[in-house]
Amino acid sequence: MSHQILSFGQPQLKGTISVPGDKSISHRAVMFGSLAKGKTTITNFLAGEDCLSTIAAFQAMGVAIEREEDRVVIESNGVEELVEPIEPINLGNSGTTARLLLGILAGLPYHFTLYGDGSLSKRPMDRIANPLREMGAVIDGRDNGRLLPMSVRGGKLKSIDFKPPVKSAQIKSGVLLAGLLAEGETTVQEKTKTRDHTENMLKAFGADIKVDGTTVRIKGKTPLHSCDIEVPGDISSAAFFLVAAAIIPGSEVMIENVGLNPTRTGIIDVLQMMGAAIEVTETKVIGGELIGNIRVTASELRPATIEGEIIPRIIDEIPIIALLATQAEGETVIKDAEELRFKETDRIESVVTTLTKLGARITGTEDGMIVHGKTALHGGVTDSFGDHRIGMMIAIASLLIDEKIELHDAACIAVSYPNFFEHLHTLITR
Residues identified as active-site: 316
Position with the least CB separation from ligand SPQ: 95
- In the shown chain, the binding pattern of residues 89 to 108 toward ligand SPQ, with x for contact by CB under 6 A and - for none, equals -----xxx------------
Backbone angles phi, psi at 293, to 5 degrees: -120, 145
CA 377 to chain centre: 28
Stretch near ligand SPQ under the rule CB under 6 A, chosen from 216-224, 338-346, 371-379, 419-427: 338-346
Least distance in angstroms from the C-beta of 95 to ligand SPQ: 3
Give yes or no for residue 340 binding ligand SPQ (CB under 6 A). no
Return the number of the residue (339 or 383) whose C-beta is nearest ligand SPQ. 339
Residue 24 binds to ligand SPQ (criterion: CB under 6 A): yes
Strands (E), 49-201: 64-68, 71-77, 89-90, 111-115, 138-141, 147-153, 161-162, 185-189
Query: For ligand SPQ, what does the binding mask look like between residues 394 and 423, x meaning CB under 6 A?
Result: ----------------------x-------
Nearest 10 degrees: Cα torsion 343, 347, 350, 352? 180
Q: How many residues make contact with ligand SPQ (CB under 6 A)?
A: 18
The interface mask with ligand SPQ, positions 168-187, x = CB under 6 A, is xxx--x--------------
Stretch that binds ligand SPQ, among 132-140, 326-334, 339-347, 357-365 (CB under 6 A): 339-347
Radius of gyration of the chain (CA): 21
Least gap, CB of 347 to ligand SPQ (angstroms): 8
Residues 282-321 that bind ligand SPQ (CB under 6 A): 315-316
Q: How far apart are CA 228 and CA 325, in angstroms?
A: 40
Contacts 24+ apart (CB under 8 A), 262-266: 262/290, 262/313, 263/169, 263/193, 263/194, 263/195, 263/196, 263/312, 263/313, 264/195, 264/235, 264/236, 264/313, 265/235, 265/313, 266/310, 266/311, 266/312, 266/313, 266/314, 266/317
- Residues with Cβ within 8 Å of 353's Cβ and at least 6 positions away in sequence, in order, are none
The answer to the question of residue 252 lying near ligand SPQ (CB under 6 A) is no
C-alpha 264/C-alpha 260 separation (Å) is: 7
**Would you tell me which residues interact with ligand SPQ (CB under 6 A)?**
23-24, 50, 94-96, 168-170, 173, 195, 315-316, 339, 343-344, 389, 416
